[in-house]
Amino acid sequence: EDQVTQSPEALRLQEGESSSLNCSYTVSGLRGLFWYRQDPGKGPEFLFTLYSAGEEKEKERLKATLTKKESFLHITAPKPEDSATYLCAVHSSNYQLIWGAGTKLIIKP
Amino acid sequence: EAQVTQNPRYLITVTGKKLTVTCSQNMNHEYMSWYRQDPGLGLRQIYYSMNVEVTDKGDVPEGYKVSRKEKRNFPLILESPSPNQTSLYFCASSLSIGRRQETQYFGPGTRLLVL
């Protein structure tokens, strides 16, 4: 069964304290892995798409990486405005998007 | 401005009273989708549409209906709402489904309470 698991469920960091969020997946035929950011009461906002193992993408303080079993979202020197829920989704060979439950990130000033 | 709009944003209703949540996108996207989001369960797909007049069930279609008569609109219909349909609903669209899943753009959400 296709599955996406994100960990941890919640993460509290001090401003400037770097860390990583994990997205583990088991799907038949990965066609793409997506990272989204969601602020409270709002729709998810696209961050990155990764298609093959070894691929990396960066945007400001965020960097996403992909292996054959998992993806990491690294956040370097985070700021309070980086606080949000980060969602991972995987596109499988049957064109379905499978979503993880998300990691709630809180950055304290 | 490129966007996905949903209406209403908030809705309180009673069990059994039919309702429709509208969704519209102005990006000429072929693919549209409806999700519900519940605490601890993440986003779950209700229905999706790959193009006009083409719709298919997602993971949790029971109790919902959709139609895609025009490219830009994808309304979600609850014929007889029940309390377990209380949730936060999102509409999303993307250019195509194709060989690679295109980036999905999400609407602002509709918070539904069924009493």
Contacts of B108 in chain A (CB under 8 A): 42-43
**Cβ–Cβ below 8 Å for B42 and A96:** no
Q: Would you list which residues of chain B are within 8 Å, Cβ to Cβ, of chain A?
A: 4, 33, 40-45, 58, 90, 92, 97, 99-101, 103-109
Distance from CA of B23 to the nearest CA of A (A): 13
Cβ within 8 Å, pair A101-B42: yes
B54-100 pLDDT tens trace: 999 988 999 999 999 999 999 999 999 999 999 999 999 988 765 55
Q: Do residues B36 and B89 touch, judged by C-beta distance below 8 A?
A: yes
One DSSP character per residue, chain B reads ---EEEE-SEEEE-TT--EEEEEEESS--SEEEEEEEETTTEEEEEEEEEETTEEEE-S--TT-EE--SSSSB--EEESS--GGG-EEEEEEEES--SSSPPPPEE---EEEEE-
Tens digits of per-residue pLDDT, A52-109?
A: 999 999 999 999 999 999 999 999 999 999 999 999 999 877 767 889 999 999 999 9
For residue B12, pLDDT beyond 80: yes
The residues, any chain, with a CB within 8 Å of residue A59's CB and separated by 6 or more, are A47, A48
Q: How far is residue B25's CA from residue B72's CA, in Å, rounded to a whole number?
A: 5
CA distance A7 to A66: 15
Tell whether A51 is within 8 A of chain B (Cβ): yes
Which residues in chain A touch residue B44, judged by CB atoms under 8 angstroms apart? Answer: 99
Which of B4, B45, B101 comes nearest A31 by C-beta?
Answer: B101
